[in-house]
A and B are shown apart, each in its own frame.
Chain A
Amino acid sequence: MTKIYIPLDMAAVAMGADRLAAAVAEEAARRGQQVEIVRNGSRGMLWLEPLIEVETPAGRVGYGPAKTKDVASLFDAGFLAGGAHPLNIGVVDEHPWMKRQNRFTFVRCGIIDPLSVPEYEAHNGFKGLKRAFEIGSAAVVEEVAKSGLRGRGGAGFPTGIKWKTVADCAPGQKYVVVNADEGDSGTFADRMIMEGDPLALIEGMTICGYAIGGSKGYVYLRSEYPVVAKVFQAAIEKAREAGWLGKNIKGSGFDFDVELRIGAGAYVCGEETSLLESLEGKRGIVRAKPPLPAHVGLFGKPTVVNNVLSMATIPMIMEKGAQHYADLGIGRSRGTMPLQIAGNVKYGGLFEIDFGIPLGEVINDIAGGTRTGRPVKAAQVGGPLGAYVPQSLFHLPFGYEEFAATDSLIGHGGIVVFDDAIDMSWMARFGMEFCAIESCGKCTPCRIGSTRGVETIDKIRNGQDVDKNIELLKDLCHTMKFGSLCALGGFAPYPVESALRHFPEDFRKSALEAAE
């Protein structure tokens, strides 16, 4: 019996993984070959998806990107024994792209069957939770704080402080809420971990519940991720069957359960207070802070809201110890960052590495430059509210403060690369338009400002009073930045201002054309 891995990851499915798995099963049956097909998560080398891996004595040998039309030739080439074939990439663990990483949060993703509790356990799963039960709630909070972990959802708020705030609230109903809204363009790490290692998220939530004294967790997942919903729901059920969720977990006396909820296509519901409103069944309108969700959160109860990656990293931190994690990274950016490399790149995918790697190294070296073969013009880092970073800043080391020092953001670690065909005034317009479409409508600078922003950029693009309108646009950005209640309106100026600052010529094209 040969074990074959074909990812169930949505990106792999988008490239034909489901059809491929069916074709491999069929061909094996036709040839009388005994195979076991495991639907794993993605290894993150997304340009190779669907990537078939075959277990051989030498290790797991990869073939990708594999199409159904390649199946017969793969069998002919003896791929079940790791045979030579044009798609053969060798032992996957030895691939240079894999070897350069420091997989920590993603250590099991793509390796194990995501829905097998025994395999999860065999790969150190639930060790973190067991240790949590041994050392007690207060020590868990302490450990998370010592690790230096900062929320990976964008703002980078220290996770330990958040947990301590909720833990210190009077006993009673408290909630663990996981933000799986991942609406940023260029991000897919939350999706990948939930498809490839969902039990890590469940374990992280359980550790959090234990640490703060809460017995109920919700995962708020965006509706654009149908594959995740299926996999994660199945993982919850597996964990429950195995006694890792529910009453008196493994005889610890601790009760905890997790429920999956699906959003309904509103970007702003990724903002934590809007998310809570949505979970409560209301319009996703942002709440004014304070009170913080840590004090008055879901249904008015103390609530931890954490991003998927923050929560899924917890089991590893608990298992390896805070110091191990704190020792990685630069400055106040501790640990590793799962970078999401996307857009116009040759090698797009998920690349997890310690904080501090220069942006240019990621784009030009790891990502291999643009897919179109044209020169790189800019990269938008940190989603639609992130700045456009020009080549001149590619020396920037990846870290929260390092990026902030140049009016840029790292956000959720998404990197979208553009070649020189891009018109930055168009992207600035798009940024404003996105804000106008997705604004929750609560405050004027965002609700009205974004619409006016689109109009003003249109005028600039038409060559109408360009200088005056650029001044007006800057003024508008200033008002939105400092007058908005939440970061949707408050950060929408980042893409616009950075485009203006680094690519002023793109806003004067029509004026130049007119002058000619």
Chain B
Amino acid sequence: MAGAAPYSDERAREIIAAHMGLEGPALPILHALQAEFGCVPESAVKEMAGALNISRAEMHGVVTFYHDFHSAPQGRHHLKICRAESCQSMGAEKQANEFLARHKLDWGQTTPDGSLTVEPVYCLGLCAHSPSALYDGEPIGLVDAETLDSLVEEAKGK
């Protein structure tokens, strides 16, 4: 799982500098920062604003606009459960609600031990195998309650 490195301004500056040759580098930088640190902390936003020569407020606006970027560290593992229409046609909503209730979680929350963050996602393009999910970037088709529960266990182990 990526994103384990502790944050440092120096490393953030290196990552930013490595992308400055691109046209419109903000998103690539944000993805790279999040891949390295697991989130985009406020200090990194400040560094970016400086490098891109825009205000901090504007940079902050960019980061917060996108669902993918987080300002604080998330769980060590990520589970995205699809709740878009096709998955709903196969009972995804009920399944997800029961799953969240079983583990005393709400959408966007992390298990108390910090091992797993559960997020909603609106279509993974796996709609012929609804319901579906994505675990640390690994797609899962025809996901059932048993599989979801086993992922919570698996996340705990690592």
> A residues bordering B, Cβ < 8 Å?
10-11, 13-15, 46-47, 49, 182-188, 191, 223-227, 259, 261-267, 278-285, 299, 340-345, 348-349, 371-372, 380, 384, 414, 416-419, 422, 427, 430, 434, 437-438
Contact = CB atoms under 8 A, between A and B. Distances in A.
Given A188-B125, A344-B89, A344-B130, 6 more contacts: A14-B132, A187-B125, A223-B31, A224-B134, A261-B27, A371-B90
B86 interface: yes
Closest 7 CB pairs of A and B: A281-B26, A348-B128, A342-B127, A264-B66, A265-B67, A14-B141, A185-B84
Contacts of B27: 261-264, 278-279, 281
Contacts of A15: 129, 141-142
Contact of B122 (A11, A183, A278, A417): A183
A372 B129 CA distance: 13
B67 A266 contact: yes
10 contacts: A14-B126, A186-B85, A188-B125, A265-B67, A267-B122, A281-B26, A281-B52, A284-B66, A299-B23, A343-B85
- Indicate the member of B23, B28, B86, B140 with the most A CB atoms within 10 Å: B86
Interface residues of B, number: 43
B69 A264 contact: yes
B88 interface: yes
Interface of B: 22-28, 30-31, 52, 61-62, 65-69, 80, 84-90, 121-130, 132, 134, 137-142
Given A264-B31, A344-B90, A427-B85, A281 B123 contact: no
Contacts of B138: 13
Contact of A430 (B80, B88, B123): B88
Contact of A282 (B26, B130, B134): B26
Nearest to A350: B128
Nearest to A190: B125
A281 B19 CA distance: 12
B61 A283 contact: yes
Contacts of A340: 127-128
A349 B68 CA distance: 28
B127 A422 contact: no
A416 B86 contact: yes
A371 to B, nearest CB: 7
Nearest to A266: B66
A430 B85 CA distance: 8
A281 B121 contact: no
B128 A47 contact: yes
Contacts of B132: 14
A44 B125 CA distance: 13
A174 B128 CA distance: 38
B66 A191 contact: no
A396 B122 CA distance: 28
Contact of B25 (A224, A281, A342): A281
A345 B141 CA distance: 14
A390 to B, nearest CB: 15
A49 B123 CA distance: 19
B128 A282 contact: no
B26 to A, nearest CB: 3
Contacts of B141: 11, 14-15
Contact of A264 (B24, B68, B85, B129): B68
A224 B125 contact: yes
A279 B24 contact: yes
